[in-house]
Amino acid sequence: MRATSTQTPPDLGTGGSITGLPTSADLRWADPEDQQWVDRLIIRVTAAVMVFTWWLVLTSPTLLTGHYPWAYEATGLGLLAAWYAVLVTAAVRGSGNLRILWPLPPLVLVLLVGMLLVPTGPPALQGQVWLTHPATIAVNIGLLILPWRVALPLIVSIATALTLVHSEWMHLPQAIAQTAAIMVGPYVVFLISGHLLARLLQLRAASADRATAVVRAQESRHLADQKAYWDRLIHDHVLGALVLGHRATTEESLAHARDAAREALASLEAPAAAPPQDDWVRRLDLFARSRGLVPTTVVVGLWAPPEVSRALAAAGRQAIENVARHAGVTAVRIGVTQSPDSVVLTIADDGRGFDLESVESTRMGLNGSIPGHVHAVGGSMRVTSAPGHGTTVTLGWGGRSSSAPRLPVLASSPWPSQQLIVLVWAAIHGTLGALYLDGVVRPWLSASGALLYLAGLAVLLLGSFRRFVPAVCVGLLASSVLLAAGAEPIDAADGRLWFCGALLPLVVVLILVGRVVWGMALGLGSAVLVTGTWLALGGPPAAQAAAVAALQLVAFPLVCLLLGVALNRTAGRIAQAGEETARERIAESESAARIAEGDRRRAALDRDAIPLLHRLRSATSLSKEDREALRLAEGSTRDLLVAAPLVDDRVRLAAAEARRRGARVSLSAEDVDPAAPIPGTSSRTSSDRAPRVSPGPAPRGSSRPDSGSTSRASSGAASRPAPGASSGSRPGASSRAAASNRDRALLSLREVVALLLPACGEGSEIVVRWHPGSRPETASVVLDAPTCRIPQPELSRALRPVPHELTVTADDLFLRLLDEPDPGHPG
Amino acid sequence: MGPDGSLRVGAVDDAPVVLAGLAASLHTAHPDIRIVTVARHVEELLASTEAVDLVLLDLELHDGTDPADNVTRLTDRDWPVLIFTQDLRGRLVARAFRAGAAGVLSKGEDLDVVAEAVRTVAAGEPFLSREWAAVVADDSALSGPLLAPREVEAVRLYAAGMKLASVARRLGVTDETVRTYLLRARRKYESAGRPAYTKTDLYIRAVEDGMLPPPGSPPAS
């Protein structure tokens, strides 16, 4: 999966004027091929339905009450047709880009100007007002998708035309307020949806990033795992068998050696077991084995939050300990289902069980340490057990499962603009209400309704949103009834019922932040109550009143609900797809690492260790030569285990020869980074992951009373960074330079060792240690009692690229390869 | 000591076949050393009733337990621990030393050397080895302020693989003086550095493993 970055340079010339709210760049979601078509469809259909419902909400009251000349109807229908033609084109062409809607704003502008130019007179215009409502959508689309330099003149023109149309039958201030309400209100709702869409895109990018990070971590762990697996195999079995073999002088010890060889060969032939993926689960599995149990471990899911897995692992260990001590069986089932939202760990056995009420249970940590660990992270514990029927301990965290849509990731971030939106909305409707005061016939009812409404808003703005949701909803319901009862019932079908619109944004906000039940209850309840109030006061016909209320208060919230579900499902699908991809890639890297490391190790062992083990397995007696061969094989196998970076073919052969002559050869090389490639064995460029070397002081000069010749060299070429790495201030560059210095030192060391080994014979000893990154020197070589001449010129040639300290006396040789100062920190 | 004056050795290794082979040949060559208990896990050895004079411990047991933790659990019983492994590379060995191991020994070492190490450690003396010296030499936080320059130099040359005699020649002193330097360094390391290291190390490790809550989290009831 390719990461889609929504943080790419924002186009400052486009919409989104309120900080923190999405810009049009956020809404241009993704490349088409990058997104699953289902996601695309869900989002597009939802957007289309939202827009259509908004249209219906705004136009239906007028359509239901008025009678218009056929020409107006025809114009309206024509506009609708054009509108849907654009939407369908967008869906069919499948560009996945909202920009396809750009013709709408100009279209609406043409319509408005047309209405002004046709001299119909104010009353006719008023009847035709529903035709002006597409302006709302046009403005919003313009704001969301068009660059400012195009959108701004368009929007100003639309606003001006709309105000002129309105002012044909109302005062100018009223007309301005009406225009503002129509244009700004829906924009706010669209912004909420847009914000959530943007969060969705971020979620997807984050999910992809996380998947990549997990895969990377797993890849390097697989390499380390496989290395560790083979190291262990060689350490525990192969070397052990070879040692026993070369020591096998008696019949009894030979029998032991045969057993060990048989075991070593069996473990070499067994396929490398794939360990459970997750570290904490694997540790639990190993812990169970260390307690003599035979666990069956099943893991579903890749990630658990670290603090949760720590707590559950601690509790799980205690539960496993209980199984080992009390259950009386060895089989234990460890089950883990994990995700970033919920983790469930089950430890089950079919052992003797116990009575939950008995004293026994208090002794098992079931009342103390296990729930202690789990509760510390807000998790829960369930124990089921009965004497003779086994015990199951279930430890859970998170995962409040609910069929209602929730937007855990989308809605959880602090979102101050939420409050800003509510405030703007309330201000608009407050202004509208003040302008339409002539429609109020029972002022005291309207005033108390308005007060209640303001109180509800204040709580939402000042108090904790979540804690007061029920109280606020009840208060707002009451306010809508009071407002409805205070106004002329006949105005139900008119835009003067500003209070209906006043509730709408709250309903939408509630639904989109996941308080679906309360949001819908507020919308539905208010629709029913308002209709009832109008009917009781002798307002418009029942059907009409109900239709108006339902459309205004239910339809749009319903669409928001649909949007919420769609976003939620898409978010879930994104997370799932990310997880599946990650799982596949992890499985691939696991098997790749297994095959590569297996081939490498087998190839090395095939030369001597494996044939010798086969012979040892069926040997009835061992000659001196056989035992010598085993000793040599042990030496070179050990070299591969503990000095792999140092031992190339040349060193390996030379070391075997030296051992054959009776020298003691001891090679060791620290692994700086188990997953890092060994120079000269792979084309992969050296990693940045190698820890940086501390500059370290120059080695203390030692007094050498009888040193024959001492040479001290520092390589100019090596101690200066290469031209390509001259920008040493970048940490990556300097650690790369350090790593390449180190590679060079290792290559020199190999050369030196290959030169010195032939000087080792009976009675001499060579110790080579490669330990980069720990001491002032990266390597040391001690050659004691050389049995032939040391080739000095070749030695100095091999050492030329590396700063070093070399002392050669008649009896021994001592060489240190000095660590080079980190080029990033000169001096 | 056993009733016959022999050294009783407990051994922990997850390849018992190899261990059994070693026990047989070691006892043949050195009858005063007996491997009396062979266990796959530290837990198993601790559960055994057999008394031992010291423990040979494989460094990595692959049972999910931590090597340093294993050492501590054994030294808590006042059993000296001699690490017995094929792989004597730095980090793990350093951790084992910090946790209180008395010495490390390669499994491939000559039986005579194994016997000498067992006797030295059982007598309560530290077993000096290159690997131990390498750990101290690596520990600049420790070797710098704590050890005298001559001691540091002796430790470093010894760590590089030099014999005592060669170190002595290079420092212009006697073999015995070098030995004294090394033993002094070893004691200083043990008394000053080790306990603090052990506790912090173990705590960090325990937190990492989830055995202990991280600092600042509410205490578990």
- Average pLDDT (A47-59) is 59
Tens of pLDDT, residue by residue over A513-532, are: 667 787 778 878 877 887 77
Measure in Å the smallest separation between the Cα of A135 and chain B Cα atoms: 56
Residue listed under structure tokens 């020869």: A657
Decide which of B65 and B143 is more confident: B65
Q: What per-residue confidence (pLDDT) applies to A669? A: 87
pLDDT band at A311 (very low <50, low <70, confident <90, very high): confident
Tens of pLDDT, residue by residue over B91-147, are: 677 878 878 888 888 877 888 888 989 998 888 887 878 777 887 777 665 555 677
Nearest to A457 by CA among A468, A447, A448: A468
Residues B100 and B11 in one domain: yes
Across A210-228, b (16+ Cβ under 10 Å) vs e yields bbbebbeebbbbbbbbbbb
Note whether B160 contacts A782, CB cutoff 8 Å. Answer: yes
In which element (H, E) is residue A375 found? helix A369-376
The chain B residue lying nearest A779, using CA atoms, is B160
Q: What per-residue confidence (pLDDT) applies to A504? A: 67
Best of A230, A231, A235 to disrupt the B interface by mutation (most B CBs within 10 Å)?
A235
* Single-letter amino acid code for the residue at A431: T
Measure in Å the smallest separation between the Cα of A453 and chain B Cα atoms: 43
List chain B residues with CB under 8 Å of A765.
161, 163
Task: Find the CB nearest A812 among B22, B85, B166.
Answer: B166
Tens of pLDDT, residue by residue over A646-681, are: 888 899 889 999 999 999 999 988 765 544 444 444
Strands A804-808 and A709-713: antiparallel
Q: Does B130 touch chain A (CB under 8 A)?
A: yes
Residues B14 and B57 in one domain: yes
Going by the DSSP 8-state scheme, the letter that residue A490 receives in this structure is G
Average pLDDT, chain B: 77
The chain B residue lying nearest A668, using CA atoms, is B89
Tens of pLDDT, residue by residue over A124-139, are: 555 455 555 666 666 6
Tokens of A626: 């056989």
Nearest to A661 by CA among A637, A628, A626: A628
Strands B54-57 and B81-85: parallel
Note whether B86 contacts A313, CB cutoff 8 Å. Answer: no
List chain B residues with CB under 8 Å of A285.
64
Given a cut of 70, whether residue B59 has pLDDT beyond it is: yes
Nearest to A315 by CA among A264, A370, A379: A370
Tokens of A650: 């040349």
Best of A775, A804, A805 to disrupt the B interface by mutation (most B CBs within 10 Å)?
A775
The chain A residue lying nearest B13, using CA atoms, is A236
Task: Find the CB nearest B171 among A290, A376, A703.
Answer: A703
Q: What per-residue confidence (pLDDT) applies to A189? A: 59
Q: What per-residue confidence (pLDDT) applies to A766? A: 93
Decide which of A590 and A746 is more confident: A746
CA distance B161 to A758: 18
Domain boundary among B104, B126, B148: B126
Q: What per-residue confidence (pLDDT) applies to A767? A: 92
Q: What per-residue confidence (pLDDT) applies to A2? A: 36
Note whether B28 contacts A250, CB cutoff 8 Å. Answer: yes
Note whether B89 contacts A250, CB cutoff 8 Å. Answer: no
CA distance B172 to A173: 105
Q: Does B20 touch chain A (CB under 8 A)?
A: yes
List chain A residues with CB under 8 Å of B162.
767, 782, 784, 812, 814
Decide which of A49 and A468 is more confident: A468
Tens of pLDDT, residue by residue over A65-79, are: 555 555 555 666 666
Among A119-128, A381-390, A797-806, name the most confident range: A797-806
List chain B residues with CB under 8 Å of A641.
86-87
Contacts A–B by Cβ distance under 8 A: 187
List chain A residues with CB under 8 Å of B25.
244, 247-250, 253, 256
At A329, phi and psi to the nearest 5? Answer: -130, 165
Nearest to A685 by CA among A716, A638, A725: A725
From first CA to last CA, the distance across chain B in angstroms is 44
Q: What per-residue confidence (pLDDT) applies to A641? A: 83
Q: Does B138 touch chain A (CB under 8 A)?
A: yes
Whether the ipTM is more than 0.90: the answer is no
CA distance A485 to A446: 7
Residues B121 and B34 in one domain: yes
Given a cut of 60, whether residue A305 has pLDDT beyond it is: yes
Note whether B18 contacts A240, CB cutoff 8 Å. Answer: yes
Tens of pLDDT, residue by residue over B164-179, are: 888 998 889 999 999 8
Q: What per-residue confidence (pLDDT) applies to A744? A: 87
Q: What per-residue confidence (pLDDT) applies to A797? A: 92
List chain A residues with CB under 8 Å of B170.
702-705, 707, 807, 814
CATH number for position B81: 3.40.50.2300
User: Within 13 Å and on the Cβ side, how many CA atoms surround A654?
Assistant: 20
Tens of pLDDT, residue by residue over A436-454, are: 666 677 888 888 888 888 8
Residues B33 and B116 in one domain: yes
Name the least confident of B46-50, B188-192, B198-202: B198-202
Task: Find the CB nearest A314 among B88, B130, B210.
Answer: B210
Name the least confident of A636-650, A796-810, B81-95: B81-95
Q: What per-residue confidence (pLDDT) applies to A21? A: 32
Residues B74 and B164 in one domain: no
Measure in Å the smallest separation between the Cα of A670 and chain B Cα atoms: 6
Given a cut of 60, whether residue A210 has pLDDT beyond it is: yes
CA distance A515 to A508: 10
Note whether B162 contacts A775, CB cutoff 8 Å. Answer: no
Q: What per-residue confidence (pLDDT) applies to A782? A: 92
Tens of pLDDT, residue by residue over A277-288, are: 557 888 788 888
Measure in Å the smallest separation between the Cα of B139 and chain A Cα atoms: 8
- Average pLDDT (A281-297) is 83
- Average pLDDT (A569-597) is 73
Decide which of A468 and A35 is more confident: A468
**Residues whose CB falls within 8 Å of the CB of residue A52, separated by 6 or more in sequence, listed in order:** none
Burial of A606 (0-12, 13-18, 19+ CB in 10 A): exposed
Note whether A765 contacts B20, CB cutoff 8 Å. Answer: no
Cβ-contact A292, A330 below 8 angstroms: yes
Domain boundary among B126, B152, B178: B126
Name the least confident of A317-326, B148-157, B183-192: B183-192
CA distance A779 to A800: 15
CATH number for position B202: 1.10.10
Name the least confident of A79-88, A249-258, A295-304, A793-802: A79-88
Given a cut of 80, whether residue A120 has pLDDT beyond it is: no
Cβ-contact B9, B33 below 8 angstroms: yes
Tens of pLDDT, residue by residue over A157-199, are: 888 888 887 777 777 877 787 777 667 666 665 666 666 666 6
Name the least confident of A514-523, A582-591, A719-728: A719-728
CA distance A192 to A190: 5
CATH 3.30.565 domain range(s) in chain A: 643-676+707-827
Instruction: Determine the structural domain holding residue B108 and report its residue range.
Output: 1-126
Tens of pLDDT, residue by residue over A673-710, are: 544 444 444 333 333 333 333 333 333 333 333 434 44
CA distance A303 to A397: 13
Q: What per-residue confidence (pLDDT) applies to B55? A: 92
Tokens of A724: 């390509």
In which element (H, E) is residue B12 found? strand B7-12
Best of A258, A310, A636 to disrupt the B interface by mutation (most B CBs within 10 Å)?
A310
At A513, phi and psi to the nearest 5? Answer: -90, 10
Residues B43 and B77 in one domain: yes
pLDDT band at A269 (very low <50, low <70, confident <90, very high): confident
- Average pLDDT (A341-357) is 84
The matching CATH number, chosen from 1.20.120, 2.60.40, 3.30.565, 1.20.1300, for A643-676+707-827 is 3.30.565
Residues B76 and B169 in one domain: no
Residues B83 and B13 in one domain: yes
Average pLDDT, chain A: 70
Nearest to A236 by CA among B204, B87, B94, B113: B87
DSSP B146-214: HS-HHHHHHHHHHHHT--HHHHHHHHTS-HHHHHHHHHHHHHHIIIIIHHHHHHHHHHHHHHHTTSSPP
Query: Number of structural domains, chain B?
Result: 2
- Average pLDDT (A333-353) is 85
List chain A residues with CB under 8 Å of B178.
none
Cβ-contact A794, A824 below 8 angstroms: no
Taking only Cα atoms into account, the Rg of chain B, rounded to an integer number of angstroms, comes to 18
Q: What per-residue confidence (pLDDT) applies to A561? A: 66
* Single-letter amino acid code for the residue at B1: M
**Residues whose CB falls within 8 Å of the CB of residue B75, separated by 6 or more in sequence, listed in order:** B81, B99, B100, B101
Residues B88 and B166 in one domain: no
The chain B residue lying nearest A315, using CA atoms, is B211
Tokens of A130: 């529903």
pLDDT band at A735 (very low <50, low <70, confident <90, very high): low
Residues B115 and B141 in one domain: no
Q: What per-residue confidence (pLDDT) applies to B173? A: 92
In chain B, the percentage of residues whose pLDDT exceeds 90 is 5
In chain A, the percentage of residues whose pLDDT exceeds 90 is 7
Q: What per-residue confidence (pLDDT) applies to A655? A: 93
Residues B115 and B139 in one domain: no
Domain boundary among B94, B126, B158: B126
Given a cut of 60, whether residue A538 has pLDDT beyond it is: yes
